[in-house]
Each structure stands twice: as C-alpha cells, then as structure tokens.
Amino acid sequence: MSLTHLQRLEAESIHIMREVVSEAEKPVMLYSIGKDSAVMLHLAKKAFYPSPPPFPLLHVDTTWKFKAMYDLREKSAADAGMELLVHQNPEAEEMGVNPFDHGPLHTDMWKTQGLKQALDKYGFDAAFGGARRDEEKSRAKERIFSFRTASHGWDPKSQRPELWNIYNAKKKKGESIRVFPLSNWTELDIWQYIHLENIEIVPLYFSAVRPTFEYEGGLFMADDLERLERVMGKRPEITERSIRFRTLGCFPLTGAVESEAATLPEIIQEMLLTTTSERQGRVIDKDSGDASMEKKKQEGYF
C-alpha cells in the first residue's frame, strides 16, 4: 500500500504538532479563521484524538473581519473543545486605526503589534501558524520551526538547519518559535483536503450574490455598510454581484472575485483554470515592491 501525497502531508503535520506539544512549555495555535486555519485546526484534532488539542486557539483580531468569520470562529473552537482567546490591540482601538485612513499602519498595528502583545501577554513560547511555502517567494526558505528573538524579530541568517524530521525546539527564556505545520502543503492540497475531509469553512469562499462596491480598482464586499460609510466619509455605491473570496482577511483589504463557483469542486476547478496567484487579491504583498513579505517577517509579522 502506497500512501497518497495527502496522507503523507497529514502525517507530517501531525508529527510536527506532537513534537511541539512535547517540547514547548506553552504552545498556542494562531487561528485566522481562513481555509488554512481550518485545515490546521482539523489536523490538530486528529493529532491528539481522542484527547482535545492540548493548547488554546488565539485569534489576533483587527475588528475588521467579515461577520461570517466571527460566527465560524466561535463555532469551530466550541466543536474542537478548545479555549478561544481573542486579542485586539488596545492602542489601535484607541487610535481608531482602519484600513482606509491608515494604509500599511492598519496591518502593522492590528496584526504585527497585536500578535506580539498577545504572545507576550500570555507568555506563549510556541505558536502554530498556517503559512505555506508555496504562498510567496521568501516563504520558500522559511523553516518549519522558525525562531524569534525575545522582541519577536526574525533573522534569516540565524535560522537553524532542519534535518530529517528532527526539530530543535531548545530556546532561551523569552525566545519563541513560530511553527508552520502546513509548510509543505500547496493551495490545491488545502482545497482537496477540505473537500475530502469535509471540513467546515467560512461560507464566503463559496459564491453567492452579495452587496459589493468598487474601490481603487478592486472589488470589495460591503459587509458592514454603516461602518464603511463612517470611515470612508461617504456611502459607497453598492451593486449586487455574484462573488466569492479566494482568501479572507479584513473585509476592506480583501478583494472579491466575480464567480459562480458554489461548491468545493467548482472552487477547485476555478482555481485550477484561473490565471492569477492567490495573494493577488491581497494588498499586503505589494506595498513595498519585491521583498515586501521578507521585510514584514523581519519586523515580526507572522
């Protein structure tokens, strides 16, 4: 019997999670409610079954996620029997940081700084993240166990070699590890696995007729019209369109695509036939040219 590639990927991810739980003092799983998070959470349930995963879920919230995401967040944590921690950066809240007025500062304050605050607050020394190596060029060299200094910095030169499936989780007090159990999965693998294992994902990945508006050349969904109007200073012009999302983030930062794909096979079909890569819909990669993600990682972005 030959294992399929998905069976091998699953076994590898489970192995990684068990190593972390055995060697770290206080692990946590970062949960962004997207499809990769959904797969990661599912794998965690498998890794420790019949025990519940022995760590909490942490959502670093920007307050700008889609409503449907918040709904699934509560349900998924409850289904898994896991504690859900939600952190919102109080400074960002006070300053009213939002994607329209503050541009890159929005991501920095809510996500990058918010994540650092949350890890420090709870004293987590290992955090699972759902990043994949196929997402972006600088990720291709990311280790599965990625070390961060006490100030959460990432130095590409000081990363440890990873041989076989032996991971070195030794660290000094204050240092932490980001662990990426989905490193070797591709976008297609993720979708295929969701399909095979029947994993619940946010309905926004499936097409439906939704209220949309255009902004700076992109197509967005009006998830909370009152709030949009408040920060944009005017009510955007709303058109009903059949849309879906290829990736989910903050609703004013995540571009929608017009689509009729309403089932998983249709989504996969559309993805395979499409000609733009996944991150295209996200504004984050483009703000400082070529090496944008590498720079963000050095600053502590996940």
Partner 1 sequence: MPENANDPIYQTDALIAEDIDAYLEKHQHKTMLRFITCGSVDDGKSTLIGRLLYDSKMIFEDQLAALESDSKRVGTQGQEIDFALLVDGLAAEREQGITIDVAYRFFATENRKFIVADCPGHEQYTRNMVTGASTADLACILIDARKGVLVQTKRHSFLCHQLGIKNLVLAVNKMDLIDYDQKKYDAIIADYAHFAESIGIESFTAIPISGLAGDNITSPSDNTGWYDGPTLMEHLEAVEVRSDANLAHPFRMPVQWVNRPNLDFRGFSGLISSGSVKPGDTVRSLPSGKTSTVKSVVTMGGDLEEGVAGQSVTITLDDEIDCSRGDVLAAADSPPEVADQFESTIVWMDEDPLVVGRAYWMKLGTQMVSVTVAEPKFEIDVNTMEHLAAKTLHLNQIGVAEITTDKRIVFDPYTENRALGGFILIDKITNHTVGAGMLHFSLRRAQNVHWQAVDITRDDHAAMKNQKPRVLWFTGLSGSGKSTIANEVEKKLAIMNRHTFLLDGDNVRHGLNKDLGFTETDRIENIRRIGEVAKLMTDAGLIVLTAFISPFRADRQLVRDMMGEGEFIEIHVDTPLEVAEQRDVKGLYKKARAGELKNFTGIDSPYEEPESPEIRVNTVAMSPEEAADYIIKQILPLK
Q: Which residues bind partner 1 (CB under 8 A)?
A: 1-12, 14-15, 18-19, 21-22, 45-52, 133-134, 137-138, 140-141, 156, 160-166, 168, 170-172, 183-184, 186, 188-189, 192, 195-196, 265-266, 268-269, 272-277, 280, 290-291, 294
State the DSSP code for 102.
Answer: H
**Residue closer to partner 1 (CB basis): 44 or 243:** 44
Residue 174's CB is within 10 A of a number of other CB atoms, namely 12
Q: In this structure, what token pair is assigned to residue 106?
A: 């929005």
Question: Apex CA 298: angle with CA 293 and CA 302, to 5°?
Answer: 65
Nearer to partner 1, 50 or 233 (CB): 50
Q: By C-alpha distance, which of 214, 290, 253, 235 is closest to 102?
A: 253
**How far is residue 214's CA from residue 48's CA, in Å, rounded to a whole number?**
45
Task: State the minimum distance, in angstroms, from the CB of residue 266 to partner 1.
Answer: 7
Task: Kindly tell me which of 74 and 155 has the beta carbon lying closer to partner 1.
Answer: 155
Tokens representing residue 203 in the block? 């309905």
Rounded Cα–Cα distance for residues 218 and 116 (Å): 30
The CB density around residue 267, as the number of other CB atoms within 10 Å, is 22
**Which is nearer to partner 1, 96 or 265 (by Cβ)?**
265
Q: Which is nearer to partner 1, 121 or 160 (CB)?
A: 160
At closest approach, how far in Å is the CB of 86 from partner 1?
Answer: 26
Cα-Cα-Cα-Cα dihedral sign, residues 9, 10, 14, 20 = positive
Residue 185 CB, shortest distance to partner 1, in Å, is 9
Could you tell me the smallest distance in angstroms from the CB atom of residue 198 to partner 1?
A: 11
Return the exposure string of 73-109: e unless at least 16 CB atoms fall within 10 Å of the residue's CB, then b: beebbeebebeebebebeebeeeebbbeebeeebbbb
**Nearest by Cα to 209 from 246, 236, 243, 247:** 243
**Among candidates 63, 38, 34, which has minimal Cα distance to 252?**
63
Shortest Cβ 177–partner 1 spacing (Å): 11
> Do 193 and 226 contact (CB within 8 A), yes or no?
no
Q: Nearest approach, Cβ of 134 to partner 1 (angstroms)? A: 5
* Of 8 and 235, CB closest to partner 1: 8
Closest to partner 1 by CB, 66 vs 302, is 302
Dihedral angle, C-alpha 259, 261, 267, 273, nearest 10 °: -60
244 phi-psi bin (left φ>0, alpha ψ -120 to 50, beta other): beta
- Which residues on adjacent β-strands are paired with residue 88? 61
Output the smallest distance, CB 240 to partner 1, in A: 27
In angstroms, give the least distance from the CB of 165 to partner 1. Answer: 7
Cβ proximity to partner 1: between 224 and 266 the closer is 266
